[in-house]
């Protein structure tokens, strides 16, 4: 199975958002310098960046314009929309989450629950913005690892906050166990695509008489990324490549990673039985026994998780074993860097069914 690995950043805000300030041109320049293949821009309640000509190839980076619906709770990312979800005729108060999800689905869009377990940061008076309505249906997926949520959770004191601001990658702990447990539970019922989120606004913070940017995009584009695997390479044709990226995203041909310490490109999760094969996001009907192989490009602590429970763990570059039972199988990998194991790769699952 020959797939093309492209590293992108999902969920970020430009000056088109009320709480963003960076021009798209500045964001694109930082993305290109950081080796980002694609950006999924999600300004609040607007697709104006598309109307202003920013969607498509911008230098070496493909920009795809989506939007974020952001009431007090239940934030939602939407892509592949012909027009904004927010209409002038909508009532003054936001619609319930299911209404937005139904609107996205009716327009052929993709929808993702954003930072589902955001806890805020009491030390710096940051409100919590979790997802609270789990009765909803019809969403494409959910954020499983969000930089801003993870980073804010590290701010437990002023000294630690200063160190975390200076070296954010060293303080990230990975997806919360609560988020992973919910994702595994939901994935046993149907496909729920897991994505990584950045949720960066390049916000200005004031400390004493100083104004600091937290964080400029040039500092954070090597943090949480979503890698998408496409069946054919990107060609430079914007409409075709946008469709290719969003198709891979919708199918869950993806893994989430922290790219700061080691480029994870080359990671693979494959399941083979006879002349059939499946990768992340796919479903394989098991006839007898399939061979599962997970490969990472550097020595790591690799865990195979089945139905939310640890099935096998090894330290090395390849984990292989026969699969004889249905279930959802996904990979987690930790990388040793700066003296300790650090979260690195979290794959979407392969769904194995009975024949």
Is 126 within the bounds of a domain? yes
Which residue segment(s) compose the domain that 180 sits in? Answer: 4-258
pLDDT(112) > 70: yes
Which pLDDT score, from 0 to 100, does residue 141 have?
98
> H-helix or E-strand containing 213?
strand 210-214
Measured distance CA(172)–CA(39) in Å, rounded: 22
Phi and psi angles of residue 181, each rounded to the nearest 5 degrees, phi first = -65, -40
Query: Quick check: is 300 in a domain?
Result: yes
pLDDT in tens, 8-28: 999 999 999 988 889 999 999
State whether 129 and 155 are in the same domain: yes
Per-residue confidence (pLDDT) for residue 18, from 0 to 100: 85
How far apart CA 199 and CA 215 sit, in angstroms, is 11
| pLDDT recorded at residue 211 | 67
Would 284 be classed as within a structural domain? yes
Residue finishing a domain among 217, 232, 258: 258
- Among 160-164, 175-179, 317-321, the minimum mean pLDDT is found in 160-164
Helices (H) and strands (E) in the chain, counts: 8, 20
Q: Are residues 338 and 278 in the same domain?
A: yes
pLDDT confidence of residue 207:
59
Q: Quote the pLDDT of residue 126.
A: 81
Torsion of CA 295, 296, 297, 301, to 10 degrees: -130
Confidence of residue 318 (pLDDT cuts 50, 70, 90): very high
Q: Coil, helix or strand for 17? A: coil
| Dihedral sign computed on CA atoms, order 214, 200, 340, 6 | negative
pLDDT of residue 208: 60
Closest alpha carbon to 215 in 197, 198, 199, 203: 203
SS3 content of the chain, % helix, strand, coil (to 5): 20, 40, 40
Burial classification of residue 88, based on how many CB atoms lie within 10 Å of its CB (0-12 exposed, 13-18 middle, 19 or more buried): exposed
Question: Would you say residue 49 lies in a domain?
Answer: yes
CATH code for the domain in which residue 293 is found: 2.60.40.10
Question: 297, 322 in Cβ contact below 8 A?
Answer: no
Q: Cβ(63)–Cβ(38) under 8 Å?
A: yes
Q: Which of 211, 237, 258 is the last residue of a domain?
A: 258
Q: Are residues 239 and 280 in the same domain?
A: no
The mean per-residue pLDDT over the stretch 287-293 comes to 95
Q: Residue 280: pLDDT above 90?
A: yes
300 and 231 assigned to the same domain? no
CATH number at residue 196: 3.20.20.140
Measured from the Cβ of residue 98, the count of other Cβ atoms closer than 10 Å reads: 15
| Of 168, 195, 190, residue with least CA distance to 179 | 195
Q: How confident is the model over 208-247, as pLDDT tens digits?
A: 666 677 789 999 999 999 999 999 999 999 999 999 999 9
Per-residue pLDDT of 114-163, as tens digits, reads 999 998 888 777 889 899 999 999 999 999 999 999 989 888 898 998 89
Q: Are residues 155 and 29 in the same domain?
A: yes
Q: What is the pLDDT at residue 258?
A: 98
Q: How many domains does the chain have?
A: 2
Mean pLDDT of 266-282: 96
Q: What is the pLDDT of residue 91?
A: 61
Map tokens 């609040």 to a residue.
Answer: 44
53 and 196 belong to one structural domain: yes
Answer with the one of 218, 240, 258 that is the final residue of a domain. Answer: 258
| Average pLDDT in the chain | 94
Output Rg (C-alpha) for the chain, integer angstroms.
20
The tokens describing 25, both together, are: 């041109």
Predicted confidence at residue 27, as pLDDT, reads 97
Asked, for residue 263, whether it belongs to a domain, the answer is no
Which residues on neighbouring strands pair with residue 354, listed in sequence order? 286
Q: Is residue 243 part of a domain?
A: yes
Please check whether residue 54 is in contact with residue 78, taking contact to mean a CB–CB distance below 8 angstroms. Answer: no
41 and 160 inside one domain:
yes
The residue assigned the tokens 């700066």 is 338
pLDDT for the residue 143: 98
Same domain? For 254 and 288 the reply is: no
Mean pLDDT in residue range 83-110: 86
For residue 331, how far is the Cα from the chain centroid? 15
DSSP 3-state of 91? coil
Q: Is residue 18 part of a domain?
A: yes
Question: In this structure, are 52 and 116 located in the same domain?
Answer: yes
Q: Are residues 228 and 298 in the same domain?
A: no
pLDDT of residue 29: 97
Mean pLDDT of 297-316: 98
Q: Are 56 and 84 in contact (CB under 8 A)?
A: no
Q: What is the pLDDT of residue 209?
A: 66
Q: Is the pLDDT of residue 92 over 60?
A: no
- pLDDT category of residue 62 using cuts at 50, 70 and 90: very high
Q: Kindly state whether residues 283 and 152 are assigned to the same domain.
A: no
Tokens 């080359």 belong to: 266
Residues 234 and 281 in one domain: no
């Amino acid at each position: 199975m020959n797939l093309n690995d492209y590293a992108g950043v999902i969920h970020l805000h430009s000056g088109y958002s009320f709480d963003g300030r960076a021009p798209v041109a500045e964001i694109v320049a930082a993305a290109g310098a950081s080796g980002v293949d694609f950006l999924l821009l999600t300004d609040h309640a607007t697709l104006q960046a598309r109307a202003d000509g920013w969607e498509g190839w911008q230098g070496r980076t493909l920009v795809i314009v989506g939007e974020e619906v952001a009431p007090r709770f239940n934030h939602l990312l939407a892509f592949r929309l012909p027009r904004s979800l927010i209409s002038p005729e909508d009532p003054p108060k936001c619609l319930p989450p299911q209404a937005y999800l139904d609107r996205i689905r009716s327009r052929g869009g993709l929808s993702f629950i954003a930072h589902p377990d955001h806890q805020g940061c009491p030390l710096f008076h940051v409100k919590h913005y979790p997802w609270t309505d789990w009765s909803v249906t019809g969403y494409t997926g959910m954020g499983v690892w969000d930089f801003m949520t993870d980073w804010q959770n590290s701010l437990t004191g002023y000294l630690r906050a200063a160190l975390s601001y200076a070296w954010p990658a060293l303080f990230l702990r990975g997806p919360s166990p609560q988020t992973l447990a919910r994702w595994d539970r939901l994935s046993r019922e149907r496909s729920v695509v897991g994505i990584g989120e950045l949720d960066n606004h390049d916000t200005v913070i004031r400390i004493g008489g100083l104004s600091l940017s937290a964080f400029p995009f040039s500092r954070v584009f090597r943090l949480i990324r979503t890698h998408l695997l496409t069946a054919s390479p990107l060609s430079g044709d914007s409409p075709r490549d946008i469709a290719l990226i969003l198709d891979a995203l919708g199918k869950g041909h993806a893994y989430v990673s922290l790219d700061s310490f080691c480029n994870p490109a080359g990671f693979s999760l494959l399941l083979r039985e006879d002349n059939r094969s499946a990768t992340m996001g796919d479903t394989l009907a098991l006839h007898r026994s399939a061979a599962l192989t997970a490969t990472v490009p550097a020595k790591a602590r690799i865990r195979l998780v089945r139905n939310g429970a640890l099935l096998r763990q090894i330290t090395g570059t390849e984990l292989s074993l026969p699969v004889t039972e249905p279930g959802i199988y996904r990979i987690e990998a930790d990388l040793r860097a700066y003296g300790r194991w650090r979260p690195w790769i979290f794959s979407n699952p392969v769904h194995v069914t009975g024949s």
